[in-house]
Amino acid sequence: MQMPFPISQAPDDRMREAGRLLFAGDTDFVKGVVAMSGLPDADRPEVCFAGRSNVGKSSLINALTGRKGLARASNTPGRTQEINFFTAGDSHYIVDLPGYGFANAPVPVVEKWQRLLRAYLAGRQTLRRAFVLIDARHGAKAVDEEIMSLLDRAAVTFQCVMTKTDKVKKADLDRAMDVTRAALAKHPAAYPEIVMTSSEKGEGIETLRAIIAGID
């Protein structure tokens, strides 16, 4: 019997090429948004990346786009305070959401971010999928389930992306995957495949590019 939430398989040649072409085009920073009124025109499909602070979100976006400094990485939890929009070729937006699990941010700031996040997820008609990043060293935590529940309520399909897979031993990875699969099983908006990635080693980058290229 197939395991629930299996790992996404490598793309076939056609989809691998589609993913390569998508990210071979211009990938540029569009704008950082702090209010719904500042969102760019909803003129193309978009995917967003969500993850708790320091899960490796900026590094993954940089690896996907092949632009080392496109998304700013920070060691300070809660540093990213905006919804950041990037182009992927001339057909998609890549959206970097504020990190959640704000260790060092004042409560009013956190509340403002959370309101913006809820409004964006519930109200952006061109949002096709969210990628929820989970640290492979730990598996899904309570704070990750909070964002999953938010996506359930917003009826936004989300797909789990495990990060930093090169930094964990197999036995520990297996335990983290068990925890993550158990968490995903509670959420009706969860897409039934998990993507395994390492930004440092390039693992899963072609797969994720192909997935995004196939979303319209």
pLDDT digits (tens, 9 = 90+) for 157-186: 999 999 999 999 999 999 999 999 999 999
Q: What is the rounded distance in angstroms from the CA atom of residue 131 to the CA atom of residue 34? A: 21
Go through 77-100 and write b for each residue having 16 or more CB atoms within 10 A of its CB, e for each that does not. Answer: bbbbbbbbbbbbeeebbbbbbbbb
Q: How confident is the model at residue 76 (pLDDT cuts 50, 70, 90)?
A: very low
Residue 67: CATH number of its domain: 3.40.50.300
- 160 phi and psi angles, rounded to 5 deg: -80, 130
Residues of the chain with pLDDT > 90: what percent?
A: 70
Mean pLDDT of 48-74: 84
Q: Decide if 45 is inside a domain.
A: yes
Q: What is the rounded distance in angstroms from the CA atom of residue 125 to the CA atom of residue 187? A: 21
Tell me: the pLDDT tens digits for 84-115?
999 998 899 999 998 776 556 677 877 888 88
Q: Decide if 6 is inside a domain.
A: no
Q: How confident is the model at residue 4 (pLDDT cuts 50, 70, 90)?
A: confident
- What is the number of alpha carbons within 13 Å of residue 171 lying toward its C-beta? 0
Domain containing 69 equals: 13-213
3-state secondary structure of 28: coil
Q: Decide if 4 is inside a domain.
A: no
Q: Decide if 17 is inside a domain.
A: yes
Question: What token pair was written down for 33?
Answer: 């948004």
How many domains are there within the chain? Answer: 1
Mean pLDDT of 49-59: 90
Instruction: Find where tokens 């540029």 sit.
Output: 28
pTM above 0.85, yes or no: yes
Q: Decide if 2 is inside a domain.
A: no
Whether pLDDT at 19 is above 80: yes
Whether pLDDT at 124 is above 80: yes
> In terms of residues, how long is the chain?
216
From residue 16, how far is each of 20, 22, 194, 212, 214 by CA, in Å? 6, 10, 17, 11, 10
- 52 phi and psi angles, rounded to 5 deg: -70, 160
- What is the number of alpha carbons within 13 Å of residue 186 lying toward its C-beta? 13
Report the pLDDT value the prediction gives residue 20, as an integer from 0 to 100: 95
Q: Decide if 100 is inside a domain.
A: yes
Q: Decide if 1 is inside a domain.
A: no
Q: Decide if 5 is inside a domain.
A: no
Whether pLDDT at 14 is above 70: yes
Whether pLDDT at 206 is above 80: yes
Q: How confident is the model at residue 77 (pLDDT cuts 50, 70, 90)?
A: very low
